[in-house]
C-alpha cells in the first residue's frame, strides 16, 4: 500500500527535518564565527548532535552531519583561502612598506656661556675712567683711593708687584670675582695701577731717570738763543717740581736725605734752575714772575738747608724781576725787607743798585750812596758799589 508508505516517509521526513533546522542554525553560526573561532568550535557542535536520544534522530543526524561536512568543507577552504590571502597581503604590504625609523631623541645640550677673553676684558678696563676702576676695586673690597695708589707708586718701581701686593692684602684670589658675572675681577687691579701710574707726576720708576736729567741740565749753558733757553727753563722746571714732590711725599727735608733716595745731590741742580729762571723770565710775562716767586719759595721752604743758604738770593732774584717788569714799588719793598733782615748788607745793596743801572741811573747812584752808611772797604762788594756811584 503506497499511501501508507508516503505518510511514513513524511513523518520520517518531519522527524528528520527538525534536527536539520537545528543543524542549519548551527552551521550559520559556524559560518558567522568561522573567521573568529577555530575548527574546535565545529567539532563541539557535531558532538551535540550525536547525543540526541532516538535512533531515528541518530540516523538522520548522521546524514545531516555528512551533509554538513559536505557543506562545511568548502566553507573551511574558502575561509582559509581568504585568511591566507589577507595574511599574504599583509605580509606583502609589510614588505613593501618602508620601515619607519624611530625618531631620534634630540639631546638638548646645556648652553655653556662663553667666557670673555682676557684681551677683550683688559681693553674694556682700559676704556673705563680711573674713578670707575677705583669704584669697581672698592666693590671687590679694596679700600683704597687715588692718593694711596700714588703713594705705592712712589715706593715700588714694578707695577705688577704693586698689583700683586694689593691682591694679596685684600685676599682677592679667594673671593673669585668673575668678569662675566660681576663685571670685574682681579685683572682690574693691574690695569688700575697702570692707569694711575700714567697720571701721577712722579713715581719710583722715575728716580733713576731723574739723575740722568739732572746731569743734562747742569751741562747746559745759557746762550743768546732765547728759544733754546726757554725750552731749558721748562725742562728744569719739570725736574725741580718732581724733586719737590718726591721730598714732600717721602717726608725728606734736607738735600742729604733726598740724595740718599735719588743717589745724587740735587743742590746744584736747583741753583742752576734759578740761574736759568732769572735769565729767561726777564723776557716773559709779569704773571710768570709771580708764579716763579711762589714756586721757588715753596722749594726753598721745604728744604731747611737750602732755605738757610739761598733764601736771600731767591728774594733778590724775584725783586729784580719785578723791577725789570716795571713794578718798582714791589721790587723796592722786597729789597727793603731783605736789607732790614740781614746784618751783612754789601751784596744786597750792590744787587739793588745794579738792577737800576740800565733803567734809572740816578736811582742806581742814590741806592749806592745809601749803602755807604753800612758798607766800607772791609766788605767784599764795596768796590762794585763805588763803581756804580762814580760811573
What is the predicted pLDDT for the residue at 98? 53
Asked if residue 28 has pLDDT above 70, the reply is no
With contact defined as beta carbons under 8 Å apart, do 136 and 121 qualify?
A: no
Tell me the pLDDT band of 68, cut-offs 50, 70 and 90: very low
pLDDT digits (tens, 9 = 90+) for 273-326: 999 999 999 999 999 999 999 999 999 999 999 999 999 999 999 999 999 999
pLDDT tens for residues 317-349? 999 999 999 999 999 999 999 999 999 999 999
Mean pLDDT of the 9-30 span:
41
pLDDT at 206: 85
| pLDDT tens figures, 236-272 | 999 999 999 899 988 999 999 999 988 899 999 999 9
In terms of DSSP H, where are the helices of the chain? 2-33, 39-50, 55-96, 118-127, 130-139, 146-155, 159-169, 172-175, 179-182, 187-199, 206-218, 226-250, 255-262, 267-280, 286-302, 304-324, 328-341, 346-355, 361-371, 382-390
- Long-range CB contacts (within 8 A, 24+) of 26-35: 27/68, 27/71, 27/72, 30/72, 30/75, 31/75, 34/75, 34/76, 34/79, 35/79, 35/82, 35/83
Q: How confident is the model at residue 209 (pLDDT cuts 50, 70, 90)?
A: confident
pLDDT interval class at 208 (50, 70, 90): confident
d(CA 51, CA 215): 144
Q: Determine contact, residues 316/335, Cβ cutoff 8 Å.
A: yes
CB 52 within 8 A of CB 19: yes
Q: Using 50, 70 and 90 to split pLDDT, how confident is the model at 56?
A: very low
- At 345 the pLDDT is 94
Amino acid at each position: 500500500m503506497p499511501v501508507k508508505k508516503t505518510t511514513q516517509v513524511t513523518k520520517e521526513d518531519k522527524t528528520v527535518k527538525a534536527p536539520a533546522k537545528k543543524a542549519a542554525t548551527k552551521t550559520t553560526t559556524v559560518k558567522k564565527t568561522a573567521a573568529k573561532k577555530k575548527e574546535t568550535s565545529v567539532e563541539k557542535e557535531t558532538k551535540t548532535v550525536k547525543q540526541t536520544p532516538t535512533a531515528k534522530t541518530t540516523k538522520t543526524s548522521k546524514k545531516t552531519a555528512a551533509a554538513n561536512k559536505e557543506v562545511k568543507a568548502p566553507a573551511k577552504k574558502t575561509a582559509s583561502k581568504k585568511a591566507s590571502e589577507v595574511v599574504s597581503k599583509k605580509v606583502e604590504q609589510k614588505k613593501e612598506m618602508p620601515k619607519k625609523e624611530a625618531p631620534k631623541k634630540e639631546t638638548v645640550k646645556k648652553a655653556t656661556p662663553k667666557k670673555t677673553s682676557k684681551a677683550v676684558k683688559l681693553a674694556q678696563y682700559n676704556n673705563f675712567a680711573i674713578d670707575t676702576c677705583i669704584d669697581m676695586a672698592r666693590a671687590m673690597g679694596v679700600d683704597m683711593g687715588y692718593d694711596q695708589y700714588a703713594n705705592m707708586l712712589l715706593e715700588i718701581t714694578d707695577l705688577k708687584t704693586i698689583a700683586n701686593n694689593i691682591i694679596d692684602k685684600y685676599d682677592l684670589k679667594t673671593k673669585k670675582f668673575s668678569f662675566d658675572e660681576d663685571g670685574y675681577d682681579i685683572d682690574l687691579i693691574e690695569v688700575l695701577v697702570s692707569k694711575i701710574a700714567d697720571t701721577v707726576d712722579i713715581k719710583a720708576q722715575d728716580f733713576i731717570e731723574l739723575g740722568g736729567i739732572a746731569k743734562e741740565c747742569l751741562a747746559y749753558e745759557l746762550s743768546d738763543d732765547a728759544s733754546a733757553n726757554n725750552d731749558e727753563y721748562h725742562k728744569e722746571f719739570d725736574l725741580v717740581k718732581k724733586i719737590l714732590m718726591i721730598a714732600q711725599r717721602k717726608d725728606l727735608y734736607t738735600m742729604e736725605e733726598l740724595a740718599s733716595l735719588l743717589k745724587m745731590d740735587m743742590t746744584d741742580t736747583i741753583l742752576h734752575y734759578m740761574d736759568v729762571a732769572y735769565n729767561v723770565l726777564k723776557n716773559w710775562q709779569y704773571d710768570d714772575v709771580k708764579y716763579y716767586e711762589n714756586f721757588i719759595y715753596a722749594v726753598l721752604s721745604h728744604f731747611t738747608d737750602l732755605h738757610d743758604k739761598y733764601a736771600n738770593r731767591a728774594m733778590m732774584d724775584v725783586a729784580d724781576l719785578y723791577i725789570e717788569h716795571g713794578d718798582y714799588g714791589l721790587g723796592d719793598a722786597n729789597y727793603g725787607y731783605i736789607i732790614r733782615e740781614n746784618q751783612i748788607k754789601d751784596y744786597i745793596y750792590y744787587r739793588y743798585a745794579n738792577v737800576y743801572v740800565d733803567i734809572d741811573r740816578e736811582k742806581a747812584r742814590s741806592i749806592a750812596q745809601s749803602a755807604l752808611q753800612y758798607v766800607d772797604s772791609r766788605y767784599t762788594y764795596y768796590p762794585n758799589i763805588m763803581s756804580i756811584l762814580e760811573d
